[in-house]
């Protein structure tokens, strides 16, 4: 598992991030995907790939990717919809 982040921050901007569009869907029984496009002028450039979160052992475990170029941010993630029970060290099934 790994986490990579490279960013060039715009320190002169204080605008809040605005969500432009958001969509999601189901891949498998407990796996979902999300795509979000934001207006984020706080970064000139930002690339972030977070696979540090294991695919089990935490709530909504999965992979997260963010690419921002001159204020337009694309965020994509694939995650598990279940919660993790630390006492039994397994997924909590809601079905």
Instruction: Give the contacts of 8 (CB within 8 A, at least 6 positions apart).
Output: 43, 44, 45, 46
69 and 40 in contact (C-beta within 8 Å)?
no
pLDDT in tens, 13-57: 888 888 898 999 999 888 899 999 999 899 999 999 887 566 656
SS3 81: coil
| pLDDT at res. 34 | 94
Q: What are phi and psi of 49, to 5 degrees?
A: -125, 120
Rounded to an integer, the average pLDDT of 79-88 is 82
Residue 1: pLDDT over 70: no
- Enter the tokens of residue 48: 């972030």
Distance CA 3, CA 18 (A): 25
């Amino acid at each position: 598992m790994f986490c990579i982040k490279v960013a060039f921050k715009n320190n002169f901007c204080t605008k809040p991030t605005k969500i432009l569009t958001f969509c999601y869907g189901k891949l498998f029984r407990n796996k979902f995907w999300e795509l979000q496009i934001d207006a984020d002028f706080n970064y000139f450039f930002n690339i972030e790939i977070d696979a540090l979160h294991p695919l089990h052992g935490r709530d909504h475990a999965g992979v997260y990717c963010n690419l921002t170029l001159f204020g337009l941010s694309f965020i994509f993630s694939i995650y598990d919809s279940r919660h993790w029970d630390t006492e039994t060290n397994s997924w909590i099934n809601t079905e």
